[in-house]
Structures are given as structure tokens and as C-alpha cells.
């Protein structure tokens, strides 16, 4: 059985890894996301992580590790993007003219939505997240929260009203 000999990675090793793989890794990410700026950012993140790994361990990152990390970073980006889209759906669900126009104009910010949600009582936040982000039905929410369907419907109405007030407060700050 062959023994694996571990040696300390050097800055030269990192530069060689970068030179050998940056173009291909960038192309790999760009093909998957279709956005030049995002591909540049994610490629940079991968090599920053590689530099940290060089610094913290005696094992140099392999090209396969670089590609796996790039895939992971893309998945994380897509998940964050999906959560943001869900938050916009939550605002649309309030169904007031001002909210719809805010969304249509792209004025709504994720920070404002998040801050508004965090000001709500936990049960209101939970019912809104389950309904509009996780897309549960009212009966699924009722089962999850251990409530009746009618009580869950009432909770959802109150939660929407409180969210609207909280959202308005965020606009004034």
C-alpha cells in the first residue's frame, strides 16, 4: 500500500494552481450561471478559499476540489436568489396597490422585507414564511403548527396585517 507524503504547500504552488486552472474554472462557472460579473466573483471566491486552505493545511487543494467548491458556491447563490424571490412573493401576497407598484418598480429591498419580518411575533413570522416562502397550503400549515385550519386562516390574516404595518414602518425609517 502506498503511503501518502504530505508536504507544506507554498505560495508558488498556489500560483501554479491558479495559473493552470483560473481560465477553465471561470469558463465552467460562466457556462452555468451566464453572468460575467457573477462568474468573476465566484471564481475569485474559489481561489480565496484555496489560498486559505493553502495557509491552513499541508495539503494543496486539487483541481477537483476547486470545481466542487465552485459548484457549491453556485448552488449557494441560487438558493439565496430563490429566497429573495420568495420574499418578493410575500410582498405581492399582501395585495395592496402600493406593494404591487413597489414590486413592479423594483423598489423593494430584501433588507426591508427581512427587517419587517423580524419585527413580527414568532407565530406570525412562521405562518407567513410557511405560506409564502415554503408555499405550504393552509391545511399543511395548520398541521405543522398544531392548529385548526380556521385558526390558521385567522392567524394568516392577522400576520398579513401586521406584516403590512411592519413593512410600512421600515419605509419610514
Distance between CA atoms of 37 and 87, rounded to whole angstroms? 24
pTM as predicted: 0.45
**In terms of Cα–Cα distance, which of 168, 171, 167, 172 is closest to 116?**
167
33 or 100, which is more confident? 33
pLDDT at 70: 87
pLDDT class of 151 with cuts at 50, 70, 90: very high
pLDDT reading at 158 higher than 80: yes
* Domain residue extents for the chain: 11-81, 109-172
Q: What are the CA-CA distances from residue 110 to residues 79, 84, 159 (Å)?
A: 14, 6, 19
The per-residue pLDDT for range 71-88, each reduced to its tens digit, is 888 877 776 665 555 555
The per-residue pLDDT for range 106-139, each reduced to its tens digit, is 445 667 777 788 888 888 888 887 787 767 889 9
CATH number assigned to the domain covering 109-172: 1.10.10.10
The per-residue pLDDT for range 11-26, each reduced to its tens digit, is 777 788 889 999 999 9
> Which range has the worst mean pLDDT, 17-26, 93-102, 163-172?
93-102
Alpha helices, DSSP H, located in 57-121: 63-94, 97-105, 110-118
Class of 11-81 in CATH: mainly alpha
- Among 2-16, 79-93, 152-166, name the most confident range: 152-166
pLDDT at 85: 53
pLDDT class of 60 with cuts at 50, 70, 90: low
Amino acid at each position: 500500500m502506498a503511503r501518502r507524503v504530505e508536504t507544506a504547500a507554498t505560495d508558488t504552488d498556489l500560483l501554479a494552481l491558479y495559473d493552470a486552472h483560473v481560465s477553465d474554472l471561470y469558463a465552467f462557472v460562466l457556462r452555468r450561471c451566464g453572468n460575467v460579473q457573477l462568474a468573476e466573483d465566484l471564481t475569485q471566491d474559489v481561489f480565496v478559499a484555496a489560498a486559505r486552505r493553502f495557509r491552513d493545511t499541508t495539503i494543496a487543494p486539487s483541481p477537483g476540489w476547486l470545481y466542487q467548491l465552485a459548484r457549491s458556491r453556485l448552488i449557494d447563490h441560487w438558493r439565496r436568489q430563490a429566497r429573495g424571490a420568495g420574499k418578493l412573493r410575500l410582498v405581492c401576497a399582501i395585495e395592496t396597490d402600493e406593494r404591487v407598484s413597489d414590486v413592479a418598480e423594483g423598489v423593494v429591498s430584501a433588507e426591508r422585507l427581512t427587517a419587517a419580518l423580524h419585527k413580527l411575533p414568532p407565530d406570525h413570522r412562521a405562518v407567513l414564511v410557511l405560506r409564502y416562502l415554503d408555499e405550504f397550503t393552509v391545511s399543511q400549515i395548520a398541521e405543522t403548527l398544531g392548529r385548526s385550519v380556521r385558526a390558521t386562516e385567522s392567524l394568516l390574516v392577522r400576520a398579513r396585517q401586521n406584516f403590512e404595518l411592519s413593512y410600512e414602518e421600515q419605509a419610514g425609517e
